Amino acid sequence: MAIFNCSPASETTVTWSISGLSNPWRTQYYQAAYLSTSSAPNTTTAPSGILNTQFAPGSGSILSTPSVSTSGFNAFSAGNTYRLYGTVRNASGSYTNVGSVTVTMPSDTTPPSTNGFFSITSITETSITIFADGATDTGSGVAGYRVYYQLGSTSTPSNHHTTIYGRSGYATISGLSPGTLYTVGTKAFDNAENYRSDFTYGEVTTLTAVPTAPTVLNRINGGFDIQWGSVPGATDYQLDFKQTVNQAWQSTTTSLTWTTLNLGQWGIQYDFRVRASKNNRSTWGGYSGTNRATTNPRPPTLSGNYTNGTATLTVSVASGNFSVLVVDRYLRANNALVDSKTTSLNGGSVSWTITNGIQQYYFRAQSRLDVNNTSLYSIGSSNTVQFDRPAPFEWTYSGRSLSPPFVLVPGKVKNQNLGFYANAEEWNGLIQKVLAFRTYKGIGAFSYNSAVSGQQPRAVQFNQVRNAIAAMNTVGLPGPKNPGDTITAKDFNDIVACLNAIQ
């Protein structure tokens, strides 16, 4: 009578055989033997739940199958009890149930042989996510991983946070502090709840909190004061900046939540971002969002002239971008803006027709850049241009002594009791003063002959100056001179008085 033999070989395997066969174990008599979790329901149907199969050899003379060990496709767990069945199939294909055995597997008291590994899959300001895998266990099998963490650096993290169930899986440690070093560890355990005593561990630093994106606090000439939101516990901040059209970031660091950027660029768009460090720049958190701002245009330079009643102002910018250059006219009396004129050309000019009273105005210029529906003006205006009334003219000498050595006598008014004499330096100085008054009045230059050293001004020279003054004022002006006429001290004094009376 055939006998079904089955007993545990380990915590997860059994050894089985069928002995006492009526014929030798070979294909001529038997085709196969089966280990299963149920018996064959009849002679024509194989048992269900087959865990292992032995096929008969072509020859042999023993009356039993070999004794083999099997895990039954991982069917057995330590400490569990199973009802197992043995069945043979003869050469004609008929199934015969040999018997059954109740098997209790030994308890698993051995932890997994390896802890496996874990990898960091995500880090945020307040959480760390890991993936654990790779543990091995020859007993009841890997059941999962206990996940631990601890503040700082250690080989034995003590805070049990969560458990991963299965041969592999993810876990997230949450509720952590930003920008902080933690040690994360895992311990593998098996289905018999045997835990490894050691850890697989690693150090991880959470991200430092992200500051709010930088914004412009103040605009300065050629740069900005930039500010951003603070991060609790941050020791330093790194501000990155670059021209929008240039992909190379530059950076500056500070312990404050603002900094001044003297960029030396005008009318240029810049990008900004910032990040924080909580450990004196050893590690940095994530970047804030990126904001943009454009530097103000550069203040221009203004020059001008006043001729024939027209004030012409020329404006230019040394560098940078602008949309238009604006020239403003102000009243000197109260600094009130009168009007403005613009040019879009660098080095362009604007003009005003002012036949009288040019001295009541002054002019300044500014640059304007139109960007994103906003007009940015230069910080500070140009230099000031104004056309002032020339200072009064004064003679240097009253005349020359009447006796040898006929020295020049200093004085601001010519004296008829002295030798009346206007030397070349004095006369040419008068010509320049008349030219200045004519420019001030906006009527341009005049034709003249300069005085020659050692010679008295002649009638033609006197008339040139006299007529040039007459275009501005005739009150008290002496009459013209004919060749050979004497030019008296009174003539010299009257022509100067008429000139100095011009308003």
Q: Which tokens go with 65?
A: 């199958």
Assessment of whether the complete model's pTM goes beyond 0.75: no
Contacts of residues 353-358 at CB distance under 8 Å and 24 or more positions apart, as own/partner, are: 353/309, 353/310, 353/311, 354/306, 354/309, 354/310, 354/311, 354/442, 355/309, 355/442, 358/306, 358/311, 358/387, 358/440, 358/441, 358/442
Q: Per the domain annotation, does 244 fall within a domain?
A: yes
Within this chain, do residues 196 and 267 fall inside the same structural domain, yes or no?
A: no
pLDDT value for 419: 82
Q: What is the DSSP string of 129-142?
A: EEEEE--B-SSS-E
CATH number of the domain to which 251 belongs: 2.60.40.10
Within this chain, do residues 157 and 192 fall inside the same structural domain, yes or no?
A: yes
Within this chain, do residues 354 and 404 fall inside the same structural domain, yes or no?
A: no
pLDDT value for 178: 83
Q: What is the DSSP string of 224-238?
A: EEEE----TT--EEE
Q: Residues 22, 91: contact at Cβ < 8 Å?
A: no
Within this chain, do residues 8 and 100 fall inside the same structural domain, yes or no?
A: yes
Q: Per the domain annotation, does 98 fall within a domain?
A: yes
pLDDT value for 420: 72
pLDDT value for 279: 86
Q: Residues 271, 303: contact at Cβ < 8 Å?
A: no
The rounded average pLDDT for each run of 10 residues, N- to C-terminus, in the chain (503 residues) is 94 94 93 96 96 90 93 88 97 96 92 94 93 91 96 94 96 91 96 92 89 96 96 93 92 97 96 93 90 97 89 95 97 96 97 88 97 94 91 93 90 89 91 90 88 89 96 95 92 96 87
The last residue of one of the domains, among 48, 70, 104, is 104
CB proximity list for 250: less than 8 A, separation 6 or greater:
240, 241, 242
Q: Residues 354, 311: contact at Cβ < 8 Å?
A: yes
Within this chain, do residues 305 and 221 fall inside the same structural domain, yes or no?
A: no
Cis peptide, bond prior to residue 410, ω within 30 of zero: no
Per DSSP, the three-state class of 244 is coil
Distance between CA atoms of 271 and 471, rounded to whole angstroms? 61
Closest CA to 271 of 251, 291, 289, 288: 291
Any idea what DSSP says for residue 38? S
Q: Residues 443, 310: contact at Cβ < 8 Å?
A: no
C-alpha dist (Å) from residue 435 to 311, 393, 425, 439, 483: 16, 12, 16, 6, 24
Distance between CA atoms of 337 and 331, rounded to whole angstroms? 7
The last residue of one of the domains, among 265, 294, 323, is 294
The last residue of one of the domains, among 185, 205, 225, is 205
pLDDT value for 306: 87
By residue range, what is the domain housing residue 424? 397-500
Which amino acid appears at position 52 of this protein? Answer: N
Domain count, the chain: 5
